[in-house]
C-alpha cells in the first residue's frame, strides 16, 4: 500500500469550528470530517508519531475519548501497546484517579493500577491540547505507576490557553496550532 503524505494545512482544512459548543464561548474543534477521510486520518497519525520508529516506544497512552482514535492507530504503527486513560467509573479493575479542570467544566480521569510496567517508555496522545489540565492529570497518573513519558503528541493545540506550560518536562508536539 502506498503511503500518502499529508500536510498540516490539509488537516487544518478538514477541521470544522463549531462556535458555542458545548457551551457559549467555546470554539469546538470538530475533527469528524478529518476522521472520515482515509488519507487524512492515516496521514494525521503518521505526523503524530513521526518522531519515533517501531521499538522506540513501549506503550501509547490515549486519553478518553477522541484520544483513543489516534492512540490506537499510533500504537499499531509503532508496534507498541495501547493503554487507555478513561473518565472515572469506566475502567473495571483497580484504578488510580486524578481530578482536573477543563476548558469547560471539571473532570476526573482514571488508569488501571497495573496498566504499565515500571519504566515503560510512553507516548501520550490526545486529539487536542487546550488548558493542559487533562494531559497534566494523565501525566500524574502515569508517573504514579512508574511510566517514563517520552513525548506528548496532539493533533491540535489551542496555544492561547498555554497548556504547553503545564507539561514542561518532556517534548510536546502538535500538528495544527490556533
Ligand atoms: P484541556 O484539559 O483543557 O487541555 O482540554 C483538553 C481535552 O478537552 C481534550 O481531550 C479535548 O478533546 C477536549 N477539548 C477542550 N477544548 C476543546 C475544543 N475547543 N474543541 C474540542 N475539544 C476540546
Give mean pLDDT, residues 141-164.
97
Domains of the chain, start order: 52-177 (3.40.50.2020)
Hey, which of 29, 128, 161, 174 would you mutate to test ligand 1's pocket, going by the most ligand atoms within 8 Å of its Cβ? 128
Residue nearest to atom 9 of ligand 1 (CA): 128
| Lowest-pLDDT choice from 5-9, 59-63, 100-104, 108-112 | 100-104
Q: Which residue has the cell 495544527?
A: 176
Cell matching residue 33: 470530517
Tell me: pLDDT of 142 over 60: yes
Are 85 and 108 in contact by the 8 Å Cβ rule? The answer is no
Residue 147 CB-density burial (10 A; 0-12 exposed, 13-18 middle, 19+ buried): buried
Report d(CA 102, CA 43) in Å as an integer: 28
Tell me: pLDDT of 1 over 60: no
The question of whether 164 is a catalytic residue gets the answer: no
Are 29 and 67 in contact by the 8 Å Cβ rule? The answer is no
β-partners of residue 143 are none
Q: Where does the pLDDT of residue 4 fall: very low under 50, low under 70, confident under 90, or very high at 90 and above? A: low
C-alpha closest to that of 158 among 5, 10, 25, 32: 25
Percent of the residues in the chain that have a pLDDT greater than 90, as a whole number: 91
The question of whether 169 is a catalytic residue gets the answer: no
Atom of ligand 1 nearest to the CA of 127: 12
Atom of ligand 1 nearest to the CA of 67: 10
C-alpha closest to that of 57 among 31, 81, 30: 81
Instruction: State the DSSP code for 9.
Output: H
Tell me: pLDDT of 166 over 60: yes
- With a 6 Å cutoff on the Cβ, whether 103 touches ligand 1 is yes
Are 140 and 110 in contact by the 8 Å Cβ rule? The answer is no
- With a 6 Å cutoff on the Cβ, whether 126 touches ligand 1 is yes
Output the pLDDT for position 120: 98
Amino acid at each position: 500500500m502506498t503511503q500518502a503524505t499529508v500536510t498540516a494545512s490539509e488537516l487544518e482544512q478538514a477541521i470544522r469550528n463549531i462556535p458555542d459548543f458545548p457551551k457559549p464561548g467555546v470554539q469546538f474543534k470538530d475533527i469528524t470530517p478529518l476522521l472520515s477521510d482515509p488519507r487524512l486520518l492515516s496521514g494525521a497519525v503518521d505526523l503524530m508519531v513521526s518522531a519515533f520508529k517501531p521499538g522506540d516506544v513501549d506503550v501509547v497512552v490515549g486519553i478518553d475519548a477522541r484520544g483513543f482514535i489516534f492512540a490506537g492507530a499510533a500504537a499499531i504503527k509503532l508496534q507498541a501497546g495501547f493503554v487507555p486513560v478513561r473518565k472515572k467509573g469506566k475502567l473495571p479493575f483497580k484504578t488510580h484517579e486524578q481530578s482536573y479542570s477543563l476548558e469547560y467544566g471539571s473532570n476526573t480521569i482514571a488508569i488501571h493500577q497495573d496498566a504499565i510496567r515500571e519504566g515503560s517508555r510512553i507516548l501520550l496522545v490526545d486529539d487536542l491540547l487546550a488548558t493542559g489540565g487533562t494531559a497534566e492529570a494523565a501525566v500524574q497518573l502515569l508517573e504514579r505507576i512508574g511510566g517514563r513519558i517520552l513525548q506528548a503528541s496532539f493533533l491540535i493545540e489551542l496555544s492561547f490557553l498555554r497548556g504547553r506550560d503545564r507539561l514542561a518536562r518532556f517534548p510536546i508536539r502538535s500538528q495544527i496550532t490556533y
